[in-house]
Amino acid sequence: MDPMVAYLNALIYLTLAALISAGVVAAGSLFGPKRPRKAKLEAYESGLAPAGFVRRLPAHFYAVGMLFLIFDVEVAFLWPYAVNAGKLGLAGFWAVTGFTVVVMLGFLYEWLKGVMRWD
């Protein structure tokens, strides 16, 4: 198979996915219910009315969430390698090692910046 055909197939697939997604969002906004009432516009807090001042979470909560996503994505990328490790050989091993080193350097950077401290 010609590599350009593979890229063209991927481009067609991504374009079609984007058009369908945009169409679904547009259809929902055009044909969806539009009855904003006071109860619908209030903030939702465990089924109860919000009580008192609402404070924002500190930035390290978001940083830890991003750290979780980074390692979650790392596992998603490592799964195909783990399944095909024997077929990929030494080149695949070094590619995954490099990927893991880059992710660990990011983790070390966050650790040294103090994202993991909860005081």
Residues of the domain holding 17: 3-113
In a domain, 63, yes or no: yes
CA dist., res. 30 & res. 85, Å (int)? 49
**103 touches 70 (CB < 8 A):** yes
In a domain, 11, yes or no: yes
Provide the H-helix boundaries in the chain: 3-31, 38-41, 59-83, 85-113
Q: 0.75 exceeded by the pTM?
A: no
pLDDT tens digit sequence for 73-88: 888 888 888 888 888 8
pLDDT tens digit sequence for 6-41: 889 889 999 999 999 999 999 999 998 888 787 777
First to last CA, the chain: 57
In a domain, 119, yes or no: no
Classify residue 98 by burial, with Cβ atoms within 10 Å: 0-12, 13-18, 19+. exposed
CATH code of the domain containing 32: 1.20.58
